[in-house]
């Protein structure tokens, strides 16, 4: 599934034009991206939550050369599926 | 931000009636859910991708009691952030560090 499939669903079910449907779908993901970029978590009930986490610097190894390197502190995005979604995926 | 705040923000930005914004957000989420339930992969350019990982059943242990338990086969959804989004999130973090 891609964004085009989501746009198609909106177009068919809401009665907006294709162009308007595409604009609105993009807007939804842009709103989420914007929050996440500024470090805010996004929680979508029934689906899951996207959270940004700050990681401390740590010592790691280049798996190819075995050379020890410092992995600098960074901020990462993670997704945790909701229990409802997990159950639905497993047909419970 | 939660779902109702997202609906509110969409209504304002797209100049939509609240009810319509709510319907659209729910349709987007439901179509993503259906795709994952069917085991389909979702690719959202500029945002990231979702896929399902299947696990065979295995013998695990209850960490509290140590009792052996048979864990049934399961499927789990995973998300991988897109490169662009990943970089933006980390760049904001680096900017904050530099300002301290």
Give the ipTM of the model, two decimals please.
Answer: 0.90
- Quick one: closest CA in B to A2, which residue? B43
The conformation of residue B64, written as its DSSP 8-state character, comes to: T
Task: Give the class (CATH, top level) of A43-92.
Answer: few secondary structures
pLDDT of A44 over the 90 cut: yes
Supply the pTM of this predicted model.
Answer: 0.90
CA distance B70 to chain A (A): 17
**CATH classification at residue B56:** 4.10.520.10
**Banded pLDDT at A91 (limits 50, 70, 90):** confident
- A91 or B1, greater pLDDT: B1
**Banded pLDDT at B100 (limits 50, 70, 90):** confident
Determine whether the interchain pair B37/A77 forms a contact, defined as Cβ–Cβ distance below 8 Å: no
pLDDT of A92 over the 80 cut: no
Q: How many domains does chain B have?
A: 2
Question: What's the confidence (pLDDT) of residue A65?
Answer: 92
- Average pLDDT taken over every residue of chain B: 95
Do B94 and B45 sit in the same domain of this protein? Answer: yes
Do B32 and B55 sit in the same domain of this protein? Answer: no
Domains of chain A, by residue range, sit at 1-40, 43-92
Whether the domain at A1-40 and the domain at A43-92 fall into the same CATH topology:
yes
Do B66 and B92 sit in the same domain of this protein? Answer: yes
- Quick one: closest CA in B to A14, which residue? B24
Residue pair A44/B6 in contact by the 8 Å Cβ criterion: yes
Average pLDDT of span A16-27:
97
Pairing of strands A68-71, A42-44: unpaired
Q: What would the two tokens of residue A44 be?
A: 């979508």
Chain B residues lying within 8 Å of A71, measured CB to CB: none
Chain B residues lying within 8 Å of A5, measured CB to CB: 31, 35
Do B6 and B52 sit in the same domain of this protein? Answer: no
Determine whether the interchain pair A33/B47 forms a contact, defined as Cβ–Cβ distance below 8 Å: yes
Burial class (CB in 10 A: 0-12, 13-18, 19+), A85: buried
Determine whether the interchain pair B43/A9 forms a contact, defined as Cβ–Cβ distance below 8 Å: no
Do B18 and B57 sit in the same domain of this protein? Answer: no
Which CATH code fits A1-40?
4.10.520.10
pLDDT of A34 over the 90 cut: yes
Q: What would the two tokens of residue B73 be?
A: 């086969």
């Amino acid at each position: 599934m891609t964004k085009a499939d989501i746009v198609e669903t909106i177009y068919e079910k809401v009665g907006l034009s294709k162009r308007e449907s595409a604009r609105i779908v993009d807007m939804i993901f842009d709103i989420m991206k914007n929050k996440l970029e500024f470090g805010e978590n996004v929680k979508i009930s029934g689906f899951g939550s996207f959270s940004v986490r700050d990681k401390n610097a740590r010592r790691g190894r280049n798996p190819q050369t075995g050379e020890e390197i410092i992995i600098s502190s960074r901020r990462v995005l993670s997704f945790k599926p909701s229990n409802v979604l997990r159950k639905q995926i497993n047909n419970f | 931000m939660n779902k109702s705040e997202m609906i509110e923000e969409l209504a304002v930005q797209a100049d939509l009636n609240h009810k319509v914004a709510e319907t659209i957000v729910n349709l987007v989420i439901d179509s993503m859910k259906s795709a994952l339930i069917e085991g389909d992969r979702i690719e959202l350019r500029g945002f990231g991708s979702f896929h399902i990982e299947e696990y065979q059943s295995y013998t695990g242990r209850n960490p509290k009691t140590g009792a052996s338990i048979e864990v049934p086969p399961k499927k789990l959804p995973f998300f991988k952030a897109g490169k662009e989004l990943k970089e933006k999130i980390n760049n904001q973090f680096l900017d904050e560090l530099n300002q301290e």
